[in-house]
Each structure stands twice: as C-alpha cells, then as structure tokens.
Amino acid sequence: DQQVKQNSPSLSVQEGRISILNCDYTNSMFDYFLWYKKYPAEGPTFLISISSIKDKNEDGRFTVFLNKSAKHLSLHIVPSQPGDSAVYFCAASGSGAGSYQLTFGKGTKLSVIP
Amino acid sequence: EAGVAQSPRYKIIEKRQSVAFWCNPISGHATLYWYQQILGQGPKLLIQFQNNGVVDDSQLPKDRFSAERLKGVDSTLKIQPAKLEDSAVYLCASSQGTLETQYFGPGTRLLVL
C-alpha cells in the first residue's frame, strides 16, 4: 500500500513557465513533508519542506503548498530553468512518533525544455 | 563541508555471492540511514542508526542483510547471499539528529546476475 503517491511519472515544461508537481498521501499521521531533487548518478538532494502547521512555504523559485484536508501537496517552480530537469521525490514523515523516518513517493521526472 | 561518502559506486555480482557497501556520514551527524531504491521506485528505508545503536530495522531482510555502525561513525551494509531482486541503488543518508534534514550520498548501484 503506497502511502505517498506521485501519480505523474513525468512532466515537460517550457523554460520560463511554471512547473507544478503533485503529491498525495494517505497516512493522516504524516505531519512533515519534503521535496527532494535527484540528478542521474547522484543521491537525492533536499529542496524544500513544510510542516503541517503551515499551508505554504517559499524558498526562492520554489514554493510548496499543503492542503491537509485533501491530503495533497504540490511543488511550484517559477520560472522553470533547464537545470531544474531532474527527478523530484515527495517524502513524508510523522515526526510526532519521535523519529524522522521518511516515506517516499515514486518520483516525477521533470524535463524543462529550452 | 564534505558530504556523505559511499563506496563502491558500482558493483556487479552473481546471485548467491556476498557484497558489502561502505558509508561515511557527514562529520558530527549522529543519525545514519540505509535506503534501497529499486528502479522506478522511491527510496525505501532499510535501517536507521542513532550513534552506534539501531533505531529501526523493521524493513531489513534480516535473513540476508546485515548492517553495523561500529564506533558510531562509518557504517557497512552487507548482503549474503544476494538474490536477483536485490539489484538496486543502495543509498546512505545522515542527519544531525532523528528529526533533522537527511543528506544523501551518491549511492552504490548493485547489479545481481
């Protein structure tokens, strides 16, 4: 049973436009959410996170939105750049349990076309 | 600051052979994680250490996988004997504490033939 779902395996966006990556979760105990970015032959790199007490967190071109009632979060990249082409993983944890174990989605491959 | 180091980067073995992976976390990071990432999937946690003690190994196939973190710094993950389905990327991550951001190494890509 997948607790974190990224239903779009891939996404193509023109350079300069907005990229929107979506993620759904099923476990109501999750209260901390992260996005990781992964280039080929490298490990995932932390990008941005959001706590369940917030509904938005922004860092430069990257914004994460959380809709707790829908158990849905999204990552917006504006404007998209060719260097953003990578696989993006959504991850969730229930920090209230006292540990920071991450449950990952399957990832969405973003391609930004120049 | 140096990142998480892993070796080897690639390994090809035949089924039923043994293999070991090594991880050196970021200096000062008390928590260390091993993940398995099968092609097309997200990383799955195998084991989590806090210093040299195991916090969670509930998803580690203990009949063939073992891991240790002697002295609370470096860690090794071993598979003995390997099966075809063990072909994956094995990622090591570390964090300052159990509720802190995890930083990943480049991974070891294992192919079992």
Per-residue pLDDT tens digits for A27-70: 888 989 999 999 998 999 999 999 999 999 999 999 999 999 99
Q: Is the previous residue joined to A114 through a cis bond, with omega within 30 degrees of 0?
A: no
Among A34, A59, A104, A109, the strongest candidate for a mutation testing the B interface, having the largest count of B CBs within 10 A, is: A104
- What's the whole-number average pLDDT of chain B? 93
| pLDDT score of B90 | 98
pLDDT at A94: 83
**Cβ–Cβ gap A100/B99 under 8 Å:** yes
Residue B88 β-bridge partners: B110
Comparison of pLDDT for A14 and B70, the residue scoring more: A14
> To probe the interface with A, which of B6, B47, B99 has the most A CB atoms within 10 Å?
B99
- Tell me whether residues A43 and B4 touch, CB distance under 8 A: yes
> Residues 6 or more apart from B53 whose CB is under 8 A from it?
none
Contacts 24+ apart (CB under 8 A), A87-90: A87/A37, A87/A38, A88/A6, A88/A21, A88/A35, A88/A36, A88/A37, A88/A38, A88/A47, A89/A6, A89/A35, A89/A36, A89/A37, A89/A38, A89/A44, A89/B42, A89/B43, A90/A4, A90/A6, A90/A21, A90/A23, A90/A33, A90/A34, A90/A35
Q: What DSSP letter does each residue of A49-95 carry, written as one string? A: EEETT-SEEEETTEEEEEETTTTEEEEEESS--GGG-EEEEEEEE-G
Contacts with A4 from chain B: Cβ below 8 Å: 42
Quickly state the pLDDT bin for B100 (edges 50, 70, 90). confident
Contact residues on chain B for A1, CB-CB shorter than 8 A: none
Chain A residue nearest residue B90, CA to CA: A43
Candidate from A108-112, B5-9, B52-56, B75-79 with smallest mean pLDDT: B52-56
A15-37 pLDDT tens trace: 999 999 999 999 888 989 999 99
* A101 → chain B, closest CA residue: B45
Q: Residues B34-63: what's their mean pLDDT?
A: 93
B5 contact A CB<8A: no
Q: B49 CA to chain A: closest CA distance, Å?
A: 11
Q: Is B36 on the interface with A (CB under 8 A)?
A: no
Distance of CA A86 to the CA centre of its chain: 12
Amino acid occupying residue B78: K
The nearest alpha carbon in chain B to A47 belongs to B101
